[in-house]
Amino acid sequence: MTEVIRISNIDNYTQENINGELILRPIRYITENELYMAVITHSSIEECVIKKRDNNVIISTNNSYRSVLIDIWKSLCCSSCFMLPQQVVNISTFNFKLTRENGEHGYRWCEDIHMSFQNKNAKGTLKEIIHMVKENNLTIDLTIKLQTGMIIHFHIL
């Protein structure tokens, strides 16, 4: 076989090599409601890219829910950005303290954002990520592997 096979928009397909055959399956993005109905406990982020919508600057490529969320908060309240920590506190669904807490009432200090916050479980953290993406004109392309092994894809463009 010497002919070249070209496939447009290859990023819209998952690729798998089974017994020497390339299998392409179209990616089906789930809705936000379907994402919230998924059992996220014990899942893992396979891929996550969050960008600013206006200039495509990458905010996060982390693979843990907490790290992705901290990257978003950090991008909003850095010294050259448009928000003060108090403004992030006002739009977030998380509980914050502007003081350095070390385990008091579940608060943990985060040096990256110079605030303490109470953790939430994976589902609560994922909801906050989506909330912050929507509130701050960001995009997200997210691939999650559920505990069952099922792969789900979600995006906000």
Beta-strand pair 151-156/138-145: antiparallel
Please report which confidence band the pLDDT of residue 79 belongs to, taking 50, 70 and 90 as the band edges. low
Q: Where in the chain are the domains? A: 28-156
Cα–Cα distance between 141 and 157 in angstroms, integer? 8
Closest CA to 44 of 134, 151, 139: 151
pLDDT over 60 (residue 88): yes
How many whole angstroms separate alpha carbon 121 and alpha carbon 73?
17
Instruction: Bin 68: left if φ > 0, else alpha if -120 < ψ < 50, else beta.
Output: alpha
Residue 81: what pLDDT?
57
Residue found under tokens 């995006």: 155
Three-state secondary-structure class, residue 82 = coil
- pLDDT tens string 107-118: 999 988 888 999
Above pLDDT 70, what percent of the chain? Answer: 94
- Burial profile 3-14: b = 16 or more Cβ within 10 angstroms, e = fewer: eeeeeeeeeeee
pLDDT tens figures, 2-51: 888 888 888 888 888 999 998 998 889 999 999 999 999 999 999 999 99
pLDDT score, position 27? 87
φ, ψ dihedrals at 36, nearest 5°: -70, -25
Biggest distance spanned by C-alpha atoms of the chain: 67
How far apart CA 124 and CA 65 sit, in angstroms, is 10
With bands split at pLDDT 50, 70 and 90, how would you rate the model's confidence at 76? confident
pLDDT at site 80: 55
